Amino acid sequence: MTIGARLKQEAMKIFEGLRDRKAKLQSEYDDLQMQVSQKKAELDAHVDALSQSHERLLNYNPGPVGKLLCPRCWVVNGREHPVSIDPSPGRDDVLRCNACHQKFSVE
């Protein structure tokens, strides 16, 4: 084999290594693009849900005593979950939501 042919053969090996590396990088890039798209869709959904929180705040009705509704569940998720009254020995009673486990102190 001539020196030129040998160098050509080495050039081909170098090219094949680069081609394989390019294919691997392209695959990693495609996977990353998919992850970014999924994360973006997830964040868009959260932003949409949170953008409705002001409207829910304006429409929040705590309900009558005995059927009080959790303000957190309503404002955050638009869900109506009752709160229960946990009498306390101190001055304030505590309202507790069984859904989100938030506690609210009331006088």
pLDDT digits (tens, 9 = 90+) for 23-63: 999 999 999 999 999 999 999 998 988 889 999 999 999 98
Q: Please state whether the predicted TM-score (pTM) of the whole model is above 0.75.
A: no
* Domain ranges within the chain, ordered by starting residue: 1-51, 60-106
95 in Cβ contact with 84 (< 8 Å): yes
% of the chain beyond a pLDDT of 70: 98
CA count, 13 A, side-chain hemisphere, 7: 3
Tokens coding 72: 């957190």
**Strongest mean pLDDT among 31-35, 65-69, 73-77, 97-101:** 31-35
- Rg over alpha carbons for the chain, rounded to the nearest Å, is 31
